[in-house]
């Protein structure tokens, strides 16, 4: 199944997609937009373009597993995205994905503006890889 992953943010939203066999997750793009409704529209268009059958949205939980205001915003975003796109949306715990993305980019010596413009897409790849692993282990 083709799955689109979303790392939703206030300014930048990263997207990643996997192939139909759910083997390879790849970054797609970063949407730079503050207006939630515009982000929903752009993500929906990209999902349809990529023929995504499901969308996984990162849910930023606190380290103790509790949910704060950011998690609530992501839940609302996910609900609105599912309603607008007509594509099923699941939420995935995204604790430490941005930290992992920064570590990955450090190892690959990605710096400056390029880093700022890609870290959210790399975080989306990490969310997607986690979800793919979960799906394989829970079939």
* Domain annotation for the chain: domains and CATH numbers: 3-137 (3.30.420.140)
Confidence at 58, pLDDT banded by 50, 70, 90:
very high
Spatial strand order in the sheet of 89-93: 25-32, 12-18, 3-7, 54-59, 89-93
Task: List, in order, residues 6 or more apart from 48 with CB less than 8 Å away.
Answer: 85, 87
Cβ–Cβ < 8 Å for 55, 82: yes
How far apart are alpha carbons 127 and 25 in whole angstroms?
A: 10
Residue position matching structure tokens 């390029």: 114
pLDDT at 127 over 60: yes
Task: List, in order, residues 6 or more apart from 103 with CB less than 8 Å away.
Answer: none
Mean pLDDT of 17-26: 94
Confidence at 67, pLDDT banded by 50, 70, 90:
confident
SS3 91: strand
Backbone torsions φ then ψ of 90, nearest 5 degrees: -120, 150
How far apart are alpha carbons 94 and 101 in whole angstroms?
A: 11
What is residue 139's predicted lDDT score, i.e. its pLDDT? 74
Closest-CA residue to 95 (of 116, 126, 125): 126
């Amino acid at each position: 199944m083709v799955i689109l992953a979303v790392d939703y943010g206030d300014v930048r939203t990263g997207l990643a997609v996997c192939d139909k066999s759910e083997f390879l997750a790849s970054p797609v793009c970063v949407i730079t937009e503050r207006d939630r409704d515009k982000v929903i529209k752009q993500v929906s268009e990209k999902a349809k373009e990529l023929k995504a059958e499901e969308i996984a949205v990162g849910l930023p939980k606190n380290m103790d597993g509790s949910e704060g205001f950011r998690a609530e915003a992501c839940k609302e975003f996910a609900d609105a995205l599912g309603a607008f796109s007509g594509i099923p949306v699941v939420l995935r715990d995204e604790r430490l994905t941005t930290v992992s993305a920064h570590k990955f980019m450090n190892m690959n010596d990605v710096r400056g503006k390029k880093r700022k413009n890609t870290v959210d897409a790399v975080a989306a790849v990490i969310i997607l890889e986690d979800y793919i692993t979960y799906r394989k282990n829970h079939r």
